[in-house]
């Protein structure tokens, strides 16, 4: 029986840059660090690749777990940091905020790029999409009273 979500994982090109963004800028807490070296057959079986080596960090914020992977082997293909959110696959991570205007300004000053400005109101919500250092889309969402 499925009990619920445990985490979302993102493959990153630069662990320190991504960790800095999610920990220092967005306020996630590091709850575990790990990884493995080449020759770990169990890891290879789990991820469905051969001769893998990776670092990983599990982060948590308000019960939400986010896992960052930095593979050293095999060498990953870079993704398009401007990948359209309509393309198949995961489209975005959504973070609910209480003051979207201040979060938007704070994250913009920290170097996050946004698709539009300022956050827009639609159907009792205000939302804006931006991108992390790897180009993954993060939505900021504020529920507003009607």
Q: Residue 1's pLDDT is what?
A: 60
Same domain, 19 and 66: yes
Split at pLDDT 50, 70, 90, the class of 32 is very high
Same domain, 98 and 67: no
- The residue behind tokens 């003051």 is 99
Same domain, 68 and 124: no
Q: How far apart are CA 88 and CA 142, in angstroms?
A: 26
Q: Residue 10's pLDDT is what?
A: 92
The three-class DSSP label of residue 44 is: helix
25: Cα separation from own chain's centroid = 12
User: Would you say residue 28 lies in a domain?
Assistant: yes
Phi/psi for 130 (5° steps) reads -135, -175
Q: What domain range is 113 assigned to?
A: 93-143
Domain of 111, CATH number, reads 3.10.180.10
Interval 114-128 mean pLDDT: 83
Per residue in 43-101, pLDDT (tens digit) is 899 888 999 999 999 999 999 999 999 999 999 998 888 888 888 778 889 999 999 99
């Amino acid at each position: 029986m499925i009990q619920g979500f445990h985490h979302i994982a993102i493959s990153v090109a630069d662990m320190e840059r991504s960790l800095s963004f999610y920990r220092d800028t967005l306020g996630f807490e590091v709850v575990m660090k790990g990884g493995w070296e080449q020759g770990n057959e169990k890891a290879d079986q789990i991820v469905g690749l051969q001769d893998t080596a990776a670092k990983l960090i599990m982060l948590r914020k308000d019960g939400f777990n986010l896992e960052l992977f930095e593979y050293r082997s095999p060498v990953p293909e870079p993704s398009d940091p401007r990948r359209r959110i309509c393309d198949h696959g995961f489209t975005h991570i959504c973070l609910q905020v209480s003051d979207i205007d201040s979060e938007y300004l704070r994250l913009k000053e920290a170097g996050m790029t946004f698709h539009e400005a300022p956050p827009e109101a639609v159907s009792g919500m205000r939302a804006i999409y931006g991108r992390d250092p790897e180009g993954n889309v993060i939505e900021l969402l504020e529920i507003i009273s009607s």
